[in-house]
Structure 1
Amino acid sequence: MKSRFIKDERTVVHASNYGDAGEKVVRIDSDGRGLAGILNRPCGIPAPAVVLMLHGFTGQKNEFQLAKTGIGLFAYAAAKLAEQGIATLRIDFNGSGDSAGNWIDTTFSGQINDAMLAYDYLQTLRDVDGSRVGILGYSQGGLVASHVAALRPQASAVVLWAPVTNPMSTFSNLVGAETVARAIAGEASEEIRTKLSWGGETTLKAAFYKELPLFAPAVAISRYHGPLRVVVGRREMIVAPQPAEGRSLLTHHGGVNDLVEVDSGHDWNAETSPDTVENVLIPSTVEWFGRFLNV
């Protein structure tokens, strides 16, 4: 099959105490998106199963650092999956991290397109098994993952961490309901500068907010019948209320599924300690993918 991707790859040293798998920087140049990613392959396995990892709002391919470790949440997860014989591809969405584009132009539809490009890119590689692909999405990446699962229902398994399930509600809490209403009523090209509930600020065009009512993860996940695990924090303040938001996805999903409730907020207590990530979040994720990717 002739690939529609231009691949620019180089091997990098995986200098981490969390695993000895090889990592390769990849660039997926298709449809002008210019996506940067890291392909992590376990050593000694010719064509392992692979998990596509999708980061959250304002995040990047490694995600935030875990306290006391100096390693990003997604980098840590990738290393742990590699230890169990599972490859991963973690990407920067267009306009984030090392990818091309501008953050200000971010939209849900654009990120879903990015994730679809990455999923299809995995099908072109000889050193992973494109018939055994899992999808992992965190926060807004969970919303994206739900829609990718609907569009690629052959995915072997899905895990969603604190997924956005009601975009209007979540972003009204995050940046303020008045800001959301003003952006939706305005011109798509208008630049909206907002403060974030966890501190700092960001600027996005109104086009981002105009898509809030258009995407429904529960509807999307109803079109995916493969195994689904949803992991939520009981003390969640961003994607809230929990565990009700997580259960809403299971209600609409028609396949094997379950809900894992964690004693944490949106960041899995990672600002103060890696314990919750190391002892609950990652083991539940590795177990699910190991079971359904036939590892």
Structure 2
Amino acid sequence: MAWNITDRITDVASDKIADGIVSKYQGKVISSYYASLPFSEVPVSFEANDRTVYGTLCLPTEMKTDVPAVVMLHGTGSARDEAGDGFKYCAPLLASCGIASLRIDLIGCGESKVDYQYYNYTTATEDAVAAKDYLKGLKEIDGNRIGVMGWSQGGTDALLAAAADKEFKSVCLWAGALDMQMMYTPEMRAEAKKNGFAVMDLGWRSPLNLGWKWIEEVEGTDMRAVVKKVSAPIFAINGENDDVVDPASGNEIARIASNSLSTYIVIPGADHTFGVFTDPDFNA
């Protein structure tokens, strides 16, 4: 039987889980709550192809063996802790449900020593699979129960990883994107084709060098076909007011997914970041 990450969260309806995501991001739970959760964290690093990947391992302290785990993939230009520390807060909540996690910095982000120009679908998949393999080597982790989750483009990467490696037994998407071509203009495409990269200014961080290989892979990848290749159940979560990723994409992903356990939720009133930047009471 396929393993679903939500199986570890007993007696809680899926809509309540979704509501919980929103409430955590809207400051309903203060930092002291997270400090009281039974978890421990440690920075880690491991190799993926020819580079070092840096991340944070979060383990439930009340379980010593056979712990299920999830690889966490951040969105465009972010880092392992994610927007407003979203993944940093999520990891202890997962640990409190008995789920370990490994959140990583993809190429060009966080502690990565590689320029963002070299980030693409191929490298993201390599990093995710390497993270899974790292988890499998830990004595605490049940190597047969490792899932992958991602936010925004991290969701795209999660789908790519799960399609490429069947050892991922569950996929969770937060505003996961099926089409990344909205990330660049025709002018940026021409610049990248000429120079190998185009400068991308997201407005909220220093500019990034968007690589030509990434553009080629975006344009050459049928993400709907990728979804169909995923054998694991997919849980897609979208915000009703997301103006970056079409909220209907979660429905589309669940509809075409191969695994019949796949499902989706649309959170009323939530945006692309599930309120992390818009609620005045939020305390990062």
CA RMSD of superposed structures (Å) = 2.4
Please tell me whether the aligned partners of residues 121 and 160 of structure 2 are also in contact (alpha carbons under 8 angstroms): no
48, 51, 72: which one aligns with 1:33 = 51
- Counting only pairs closer than 5 Å after superposition, residues 5-24 of structure 1 correspond to structure 2 as 17-18=33-34, 19-24=37-42
Amino acid at match of 2:123: G
Unaligned 5+ segments in structure 2 are 1-30
Q: Structure 1 residue 183: deviation in Å?
A: 4.4
Whether 2:253 is the aligned partner of 1:249: answer: yes
TM-score if structure 2 supplies the norm length?
A: 0.80
CA distance in 1, matches of 2:45, 2:137: 13
Partner of 1:230: 236
CA distance in 2, matches of 1:194, 1:54: 20
Identical aligned residues as a percent: 26
Asked which structure has the greater RCO (Cα within 8 Å, sep 6+), the reply is: 2
Partner of 1:182: 190
CA distance in 2, matches of 1:80, 1:56: 20
Quickly say closer, same or farther: Cα 1:50–1:236, change in 2 above 3 A.
same
Q: Which moved more, 1:157-166 or 1:195-204?
A: 195-204
Whether 2:151 is the aligned partner of 1:138: answer: yes
Please tell me whether the aligned partners of residues 33 and 114 of structure 1 are also in contact (alpha carbons under 8 angstroms): no
CA distance in 2, matches of 1:274, 1:75: 20
Unaligned 5+ segments in structure 1 are 1-14, 66-71, 277-295
Quickly say closer, same or farther: Cα 1:33–1:84, change in 2 above 3 A.
same
Whether 2:167 is the aligned partner of 1:154: answer: yes
Amino acid at match of 1:163: G
SS of 2:70's equivalent in the other structure is strand
Please tell me whether the aligned partners of residues 231 and 258 of structure 2 are also in contact (alpha carbons under 8 angstroms): yes
Whether 2:272 is the aligned partner of 1:266: answer: yes
Quickly say closer, same or farther: Cα 1:273–1:20, change in 2 above 3 A.
farther
TM-score if structure 1 supplies the norm length?
A: 0.77
Q: Structure 1 residue 50: deviation in Å?
A: 0.5
Whether 2:135 is the aligned partner of 1:122: answer: yes
CA distance in 1, matches of 2:170, 2:117: 32
Task: Count how many residue pairs are aligned between Structure 1 and Structure 2.
Answer: 248
Partner of 2:6: none
Q: Structure 1 residue 153: deviation in Å?
A: 2.2
25, 49, 71: which one aligns with 1:52 = 71
